[in-house]
Structure formats: C-alpha cells, structure tokens
Structure 1
Amino acid sequence: MKTSITLLLILFTSIISGQDDKEQFSIEKGTWSIEADFSINSRNNDFFNPTFSSDSKFFNFSVSPKIGYAISKNLILGLGLGYGYSKSEDENENQQILRTTTSTSNSFGISPFVKKFFPISEKVAFHLQGETRFAFGKNTFENSDNSERESRNESFFVGIRPGINLSLTKNILLQANFGSFGYNYISGEVDDIQSQETNSLSFNLGSSSFIFGMIILL
C-alpha cells in the first residue's frame, strides 16, 4: 500500500514538474503495440486445535493479450482479450468427520482501452489506462458427499488503472499495473435457480492487485 501511494506521488509530481523533451520516454504517433499482462496468485492457510482443523488452498492465474495503436504521441487506443482460471480446495475436520469442498472457475473477457503515458525519464514512464471490461465465467462446486453445483456469472467494469513502464530496448517495454479505481457490476445464477446482482465502486491500491506484463512496439 505504501509503495503504491509513493509511486502515485512520483507520477503527479513528475507531470507537474515536466522534463526536457529530448530526455523523455516517447511512443510516436502511428506506432502499433502488442501487450501481454500476466497475473498469478497462490496461498495456503492452515488451522488446528484439539477439536477442529482446516486446510485451505487457493490458486489463481490470468492472462490478457492486447493490441493497440498510437493515435497521438504517448496515447494508445486498443483492445484486449482475457482468460482467467482459479481453483480453491477446503478441508475441514470436526470431531473426526472430514468435509471437503472444491471450487473451479474459468472466465473470459474483452476490454477496449485507452492508455496515456507520462514520461519520467528517457526509459521510465507512468501511465493511466482507462478501460471498459465485459467478462463471463462458469464456476463448479464439488463437496465430499459427491454433490455438485454450477454457477454462471457476468461482470462489467469501467474505470482507471495506474501503472509504470521501463524501456528495455527501443521496442520492448516492461510494464506493471498496480490497483484500480472504478465501477463494478456482477450478476450470477446458481443451477439456473438462484440469482444475484452486485454493484460496487472500488478504489484498490493493494500489492495483491499488481499485474505484470510486456509491451512490444512495432
């Protein structure tokens, strides 16, 4: 959290102060970009006392390729596709009775975006990315009693993501997105019977929201 706030302060300070154009990071008008964002998260929680124990495991993976075009200097308009996979396993033992629950999720999305770069130096720039994302997915739940349930969901997001870029070569950039601010809408159905809807306005700058990627300029 402190790291993210520090990066944002550097961003706005740099925008205000400005630098010599000859020393600034630059993506010229007419440049094509190919991006790939990647995120992976894994955790394991254990709990034990004489009468109860639990073991919880979670794994999440997502990838999002994008293509963009610089409509003016340091301003890219583009379109992205996304895929996400997650799996959680929970084991609870209470008075020698073991219960297990497994959940698996697959999701697909599409996201048009516009990205503005703010040069810090010749090789470093911050960016703000405005995007709209629509996604849909399927979740499967299995219990130790062999019962199975299935849910489907759709989500819509519109908002802004900040990030930082490092130029490795003239045509290759490393990128890190940290956090988001925007509006989320989620709707879902369980076994085509139960349904729910959620609306939220969120501001997230936690370290768990870091997404790393690479940009190739053509």
Structure 2
Amino acid sequence: MRKLFIRTLALALCLTGTAQALRAQETTAAQTAAAADQRPKTINEMRQERGLTDTHNLFVPKGQWIFGGTASYSTHTNKGYQFLVIEGINSKGYTFRVSPMIAYAFRDNMALGGRFIYSRTLLKLDNAELHFGNEETGTNIVARDFYSLKQTYSAAAIWRQYIPLGRNKRFALFNEMSLAAGGTQARFANDSPVKGTYETGYTLSLGISPGIVAFATNNMAVEVNVGVMGISYTHTKQVHNQVTVGKRNTSMMNFKVNIFSIGLGMAFYL
C-alpha cells in the first residue's frame, strides 16, 4: 500500500508540473502576441491589409503578356457655317490618333512595357469672317486660304499596377505611370501669295493615368483611363518664310483631370 501511495503521489506531482509548464507557455505566447500588436506595423503589413499585395487577389498573373492600344479618327466639314461671331466658315479637316501598347507582367498584378503614340491633324480653312459690332462701325476680320498640318509622335516606358475589386475576376482598377519623349512637326500657310511657317520640336513628359479594366472574354478586355497628373517640357523651333527664326520653351505641371486625355481601348492578355 505504501508503494502504491508513493507512486500515486509522484504521478500527481508530475501532472501538476506539466500543467504549470503549459500555462507558462500560454502566458508567454499571449505576451508575445500583445507585444506584436503594440509595435508599429510595417509598410508591407499595411499593404497586405489593404489587399494590394495579397496573392489571393490575383488578377494578372506573373508571366502574362499584354497587347493593346487605342485609336481614334474624326473628320469635319463646314459650308457657310456660323458660330457665335464667326460667319461664313468654309473648312474641312481630320484628326487621327493611334497608341499601341505592349507590356509584360514581371510579378502578379504588376507589368512593365512600352507605348507608342502618333497623331496627325489637318485643317484647311477656305474662308471665315469675324464680326464685332454693326456693319458700319464694327470691326471685321477675314481669314482665307489657311492651311495647317501637325504631326506628333512619342515613345513611352510604362509601369502598371492592377488593383482587383475584391475577389472579382472580371473588373479591376489600374494605375499607369509613363515616362515619354517625342517630337512634333507642323506646317502653316495662308494668304496669296503664300506665306508659310514650319515648326519642329520635342517633348519630355511624366504622367499618371488611372483607369478601369473589364474582361469581355478570358483574354480580351476593355480599358478606360484618364490623365490626372503630368509634368512636361516642350521646346519648339519656328521658321517663317524660310527667313525669320523663333523659339519657344514651355513647361507645365498639371494636377487636375484632363478630359482630353480620356482613352478607350482594347487589350489582349496572353
């Protein structure tokens, strides 16, 4: 009986020590978790909370190629048209713009690539009259035989980040940053005998264009973006009648929505 009692007492003491050790481990783990909650969160931890770096919110997987672009074409013809104080407008012209794009997803929901932009604008004005006041005492300005042709071209390096809308696989937001450089050519002529001006120049710009993408099929998507911020520098050289030379330098920093930069295009994710 005495041996059985001693064995039972030893077993009870062992169980008591084990329970105390487990409680001590739980207390240490709770203190560690509390200390982790009290320390400041890192940038990566905050990004994970927003879902920007959550691998589960996958929209564009790593290794995917993206091909796309935008294109637009418009024409106009005026015959005897009147606009406010401008009368007898006889003109015709067109505007053409194309912007192909290629990118590669170097990591999930992020892509690097390039974009090329070309635009061409033509205006032929046969006649237009500007009237201020009445016919007897007013001022009349007449423009005839005016011709304008302008071409712009640029290449840009782009970086894109896609932000999925929750777990949605069809719609997502994206932000596109671009660093572009390009040139311009323009010709202006009017009057008879003809007086002409020729312009050349170059442009450097940095821009941000957020947008939204919607997949119509598994590989084809429709994209809409708009420029909201940009920094640009432009240098222009002008030669008038092959004699007079003029130069112009302009710089601009824009922090507002540019409604003229709204783009609607197609993209293929392969």
Q: Tell me the TM-score range normalised by the shorter chain.
A: 0.7 to 0.9
Q: Name the counterpart of 2:238.
A: 190
Q: Name the counterpart of 1:3.
A: none
Query: Quick one: structure 1 residues 38 and 16, their matched pair in 2 at CA, closer, same or farther if it must change by over 3 Å?
Result: farther
SS of alignment partner, residue 151 of structure 1: strand
SS of alignment partner, residue 29 of structure 1: coil
CA distance in 2, matches of 1:38, 1:16: 35
Correspondent of 2:181 among 130, 134, 150: 134
Are 2:128 and 1:81 equivalent residues in the alignment?
no
Are 2:266 and 1:214 equivalent residues in the alignment?
yes
Greater C-alpha radius of gyration: 2
What are the ranges of 5 or more consecutive residues in structure 2 without an aligned counterpart? 1-48, 131-139
Contact 1:86–1:106 (CA under 8 A) maintained in structure 2: yes
Matches within 5 A, 1:52-201: 53=87, 55=89, 59-90=94-125, 91-93=127-129, 98-120=143-165, 121-145=168-192, 146-191=194-239, 193-201=245-253
CA distance in 2, matches of 1:46, 1:73: 55
Contact 1:67–1:80 (CA under 8 A) maintained in structure 2: yes
What are the ranges of 5 or more consecutive residues in structure 1 without an aligned counterpart? 1-14
Query: Quick one: structure 1 residues 71 and 34, their matched pair in 2 at CA, closer, same or farther if it must change by over 3 Å?
Result: same
CA distance in 1, matches of 2:50, 2:75: 39
Contact 2:156–2:180 (CA under 8 A) maintained in structure 1: yes
What is the TM-score with the length of structure 2 in the denominator?
A: 0.65
The structural deviation recorded for 1:46 is 3.6
* C-alpha distance after superposition, 1:24-67 (max 9, x if no partner): 56110000111112244667784365xx6263766432111111
SS of alignment partner, residue 207 of structure 1: strand
Contact 1:62–1:82 (CA under 8 A) maintained in structure 2: yes
- Percent identity reads 22
* C-alpha distance after superposition, 1:76-113 (max 9, x if no partner): 10011221111234442365955232211112211010
The structural deviation recorded for 1:205 is 1.8
Greater helix share, structure number: 2
RCO greater where, 1 or 2, for CA within 8 Å and sep 6 or more?
A: 1
**Aligned-residue CA RMSD (Å):** 2.8
Query: Quick one: structure 1 residues 82 and 98, their matched pair in 2 at CA, closer, same or farther if it must change by over 3 Å?
Result: closer
Q: Name the counterpart of 2:64.
A: 31
Q: Report which stretch shifted further, 160-169 or 79-88.
A: 79-88
